């Protein structure tokens, strides 16, 4: 019996994805674990793998189509299976017509008082058909057109649909775009150019807006001695291994998470989820925008390996070649603007993480040591924390654990160069407590 292949949720909480390409043609067979299709999300391209051997009977969406997660994308069969009446099979599988999944429903039905709230919420990501003129009038009037009934061909929203909606608009509406522009008017005559949003830029905007709006942020900050850290880095880099201050911070963050496991959590609607291993995301600036690949089980990695993996992830991030699973998971991110001379800053948490550590520049400063002022190196780190799963005192304990790890001597990587290269579980958390 044929089965339906549905659009997988390749990115957490994604409502849709683009079917980038079919790797197995219609009527072609495949083996288990063969990639059948590639799916593109905002940040990555993912192969959809076959669970068992079989045959692609019919693809239901064309390459390049944006498809809702869970929508049928193909009909698969057992090896050698053929179908005489595809329409009947599709009907039996509950798939309407071949092109249905990418088309919107007709919107000329009067709005119903139905309780299907979730579906309505998903609607804005569907392709919406509206004439250019209708879109322009609606945009100028600040009218969202997502829920307008369209009366044109194939449910297209036309000028008259927008005008009807505008006429019926009685409730207070969000400030129209035009008003916002009026506020900004003095800059309007200035020479300017516009770069249309890329998918990545939109993703950054929506994720960070969501974070700032839903995760109540609080901040804890510490300025710490960095002499030992810098010295260690210099010692390490004397050899053929190249390690940055940031790599050491990533390693220290993991150690701190071991020391304060209440920080190794994420907020979910029903529970606070605590993890066993420590996965740390690293912010990487690329030409296209910010991405945050995740390093797995950092406590198990020697610093040299952390450095190597960060380098690899950063390089592939810049080339846009990260896989989706490399962008998922983790409980905390590390972001560092120290190389630009930024002394301190506060970052927005990268959801669904519980925290982000913003690292400033290492600077030479007079420090008091044994009652005397001596030259020293200091840096400021700022931890942004989601107050839903983590309270202030936990964050404070975590920050203290972190600074203890490299002040006055670095304790999270052992002391010798040999340890740098050996993949061992150093369990630095134990020594930190």
User: Could you tell me the smallest distance in angstroms from the CB atom of residue 152 to other proteins?
Assistant: 5
User: Could you tell me the smallest distance in angstroms from the CB atom of residue 304 to other proteins?
Assistant: 43
Cβ nearer to other proteins, comparing 127 with 409 = 127
- Give the single-character DSSP code of 115: -
In terms of DSSP bridges, do strands 332-336 and 355-359 run parallel, antiparallel, or are they unpaired?
Answer: parallel
d(CA 275, CA 277): 6
User: Could you tell me the smallest distance in angstroms from the CB atom of residue 163 to other proteins?
Assistant: 11
Question: Residue numbers of the site for other proteins (CB under 8 A)?
Answer: 131-136, 151-153, 158-159
Nearest residue to 58 (alpha-carbon basis) of 16, 101, 117:
101
Identify the bridge partners of residue 74 per DSSP, sorted by sequence position.
5, 59
List Cα–Cα distances, 157 to 137, 145, 165, in angstroms. Answer: 11, 8, 11
Cβ nearer to other proteins, comparing 132 with 172 = 132
User: Could you tell me the smallest distance in angstroms from the CB atom of residue 150 to other proteins?
Assistant: 10
d(CA 426, CA 77): 50
Cβ nearer to other proteins, comparing 152 with 376 = 152
**In the sheet that 54-59 helps form, which strands lie side by side, from edge to edge?**
3-6, 72-77, 54-59, 29-30
Cβ nearer to other proteins, comparing 106 with 321 = 106
Residues 23, 37 contacting (CB under 8 angstroms): yes
Q: Which helix (H) or strand (E) holds 181?
A: helix 177-183
User: Could you tell me the smallest distance in angstroms from the CB atom of residue 161 to other proteins?
Assistant: 10
d(CA 174, CA 373): 58
Q: Strand, coil or helix: what is 127? A: coil
d(CA 275, CA 261): 8
Tell me the catalytic residues. 387
Tokens of 182: 């009026």
Cβ nearer to other proteins, comparing 89 with 130 = 130
Q: What is the DSSP string of 131-172?
A: -HHHHHHHHHHT---TTPPP-SGGG-B-HHHHHHHHHH--S-
**Three-state secondary structure string covering 249-261:** HHHHHHHHHHHCH
Cβ nearer to other proteins, comparing 24 with 158 = 158
Residues 26, 11 contacting (CB under 8 angstroms): no
Q: Look-up: residue for tokens 């036309």?
A: 158
Q: What is the DSSP string of 394-427?
A: HHHHHHHHHHHHHSSS--SS-SSHHHHHS-----
Which ranges constitute the DSSP H helices of 260-383?
Answer: 303-319
Cβ nearer to other proteins, comparing 66 with 151 = 151
Contacts of 82 (CB under 8 A, 6+ apart): 57
Identify the bridge partners of residue 294 per DSSP, sorted by sequence position.
281
Cβ nearer to other proteins, comparing 91 with 133 = 133
Residues 128, 166 contacting (CB under 8 angstroms): no
């Amino acid at each position: 019996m044929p089965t339906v292949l549905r659009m997988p949720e390749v990115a957490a909480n994604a409502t849709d994805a683009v079917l980038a390409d079919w790797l197995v043609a219609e009527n072609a067979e495949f083996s288990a674990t063969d990639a059948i299709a590639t799916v593109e999300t905002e940040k990555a391209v993912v192969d959809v793998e076959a669970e068992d051997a079989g045959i692609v009977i019919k693809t239901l969406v064309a390459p390049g189509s944006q498809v809702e997660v869970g929508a049928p994308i193909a009909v698969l069969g057992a090896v050698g299976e053929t179908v005489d009446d595809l329409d009947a099979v599709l009907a039996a599988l509950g798939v309407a017509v071949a092109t249905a999944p990418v088309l919107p429903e007709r919107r000329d039905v009067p709005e119903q008082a139905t309780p299907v709230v979730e579906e309505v919420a998903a609607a804005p990501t569907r392709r919406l058909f509206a004439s250019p003129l209708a879109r322009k009038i609606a945009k100028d009037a600040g009218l969202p057109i997502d829920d307008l009934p369209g009366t044109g061909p194939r449910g297209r929203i036309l000028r008259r649909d927008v005008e009807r909606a505008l006429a019926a608009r009685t409730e207070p509406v969000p400030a129209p775009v035009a008003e916002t522009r009026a506020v900004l008017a003095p800059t309007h005559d200035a020479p300017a150019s516009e770069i249309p949003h890329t998918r990545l830029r939109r993703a950054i905007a929506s994720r960070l807006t969501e974070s700032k709006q839903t995760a109540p942020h609080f901040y804890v900050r510490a300025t710490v001695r960095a002499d030992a850290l810098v010295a260690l880095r210099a010692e390490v880099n004397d050899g053929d291994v190249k390690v940055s201050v940031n790599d050491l911070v990533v390693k220290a963050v993991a150690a701190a998470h071991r020391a304060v496991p209440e920080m190794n959590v994420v907020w979910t609607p029903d529970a606070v989820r605590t993890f066993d291993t420590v996965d740390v995301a690293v912010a990487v600036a690329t030409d296209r925008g910010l991405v945050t690949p995740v390093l797995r089980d950092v406590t198990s990695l020697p610093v040299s390996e952390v450095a190597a993996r960060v380098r690899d992830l950063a390089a592939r991030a810049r080339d846009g070649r990260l896989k989706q699973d490399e962008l998922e998971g983790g409980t905390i991110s590390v972001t560092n603007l120290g190389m630009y001379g930024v002394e301190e800053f506060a970052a927005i948490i990268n959801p669904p993480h519980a925290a982000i550590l913003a690292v400033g520049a290492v600077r030479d400063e007079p420090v008091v040591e044994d009652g005397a002022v001596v030259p020293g190196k200091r840096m400021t780190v700022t931890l942004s924390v989601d107050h839903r799963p983590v309270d202030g005192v936990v964050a404070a304990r975590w920050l203290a654990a972190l600074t203890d790890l490299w002040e006055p001597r670095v304790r999270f990587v052992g002391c010798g160069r040999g340890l740098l290269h050996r993949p061992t579980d150093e369990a630095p958390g134990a020594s930190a407590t």
